[in-house]
């Protein structure tokens, strides 16, 4: 609402003109834009952007109070199989259902966010470590253990959960997410529908693979891969084709990689 004062000098009088504008639609549109910017459109959960913000806030509170908190990294088991067999619409229904279950299994003060695909995180503060974090993981596994109804069938879902503690396991956000992710991977390798606490030894197991990845990236940068064709002949000696081989001249010594 805005008001304008009008003066009539000849009559020495004053009048006020008011104007009203309905901005409720504008406010609603702004709220919707903010909702879409920070929440997942499918599940309504905080999205990756808001998850990073909540995680940063939890780290600041932990530094101020000296109290640790737990980050749980959750990956649904067999979700790709459900997507491939029943289609993406069925997969979306499973994501919505499992999101509701997880939200009901945690406290209102905990943050549950969807990072993307079938990956979620829970930020659990003000819990006793590590027992409190393990209880949260147990509650989540119990909530996800019943099968989901998919296309007139009951499909077992379950989840693999990795747990990392701040600041015990990492001192920055990326490292904390990586630690929880690696613990989740170990839970999945062990068969799924279980949790694993992060252990520094998990990174040692991954080092050989990381070193190879680094060397491959360096080889691509320095153009150490060369293409060769190996002739194929039949029993008569006639050329019938060729096999393409990519060789890696690592350190000047060629080695066949595919």
Q: Which residues participate in catalysis according to the annotation?
A: 118
Q: How many H-runs (helices) and E-runs (strands) does the chain carry?
A: 7, 12
Question: How far apart are alpha carbons 189 and 160 in whole angstroms?
Answer: 9
Question: How far apart are alpha carbons 106 and 120 in whole angstroms?
Answer: 13
Angle at 112 between CA 110 and CA 114, to 5 degrees: 165
Q: How many CB atoms lie within 10 A of CB 9?
A: 6
Question: How far apart are alpha carbons 64 and 66 in whole angstroms?
Answer: 6
Contacts for 153 with CB less than 8 Å, ≥ 6 apart: 86
| Contact present, 225 and 248 (Cβ < 8 Å) | yes
Question: How far apart are alpha carbons 203 and 185 in whole angstroms?
Answer: 11
Question: How far apart are alpha carbons 84 and 7 in whole angstroms?
Answer: 75
């Amino acid at each position: 609402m805005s008001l304008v004062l009008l003066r009539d000098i000849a009559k020495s009088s004053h009048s006020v003109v008011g104007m009203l504008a309905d901005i409720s639609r504008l406010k609603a549109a702004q709220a919707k834009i903010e909702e879409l910017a920070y929440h997942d459109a499918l599940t309504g959960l905080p999205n990756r952007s808001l998850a990073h913000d909540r995680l940063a806030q939890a780290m600041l509170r932990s530094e101020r109070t000296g109290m640790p908190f737990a980050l749980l990294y959750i990956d649904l088991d067999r979700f790709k199989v459900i997507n491939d067999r029943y289609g993406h619409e069925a997969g979306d229904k499973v994501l919505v259902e499992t999101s509701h279950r997880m939200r009901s299994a945690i406290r209102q003060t905990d943050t549950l966010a969807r990072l993307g695909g079938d990956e979620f995180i829970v930020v659990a503060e003000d819990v006793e470590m590590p027992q409190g974090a393990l209880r949260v993981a147990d509650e989540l596994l119990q909530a996800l253990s019943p099968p989901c109804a998919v296309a007139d069938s009951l499909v077992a879902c379950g989840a693999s959960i990795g747990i990392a503690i701040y600041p015990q396991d990492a001192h920055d956000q990326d490292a904390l997410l990586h630690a929880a992710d690696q613990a989740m991977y170990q839970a999945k390798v062990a068969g799924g529908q279980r949790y694993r606490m992060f252990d520094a030894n998990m990174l040692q197991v991954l080092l050989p693979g990381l070193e190879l990845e680094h060397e491959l990236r360096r080889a691509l940068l320095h153009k150490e891969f060369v293409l060769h064709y190996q002739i194929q002949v039949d029993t008569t000696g006639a050329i019938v084709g060729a096999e393409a081989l990519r060789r890696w001249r690592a350190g000047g010594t060629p080695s066949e990689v595919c």
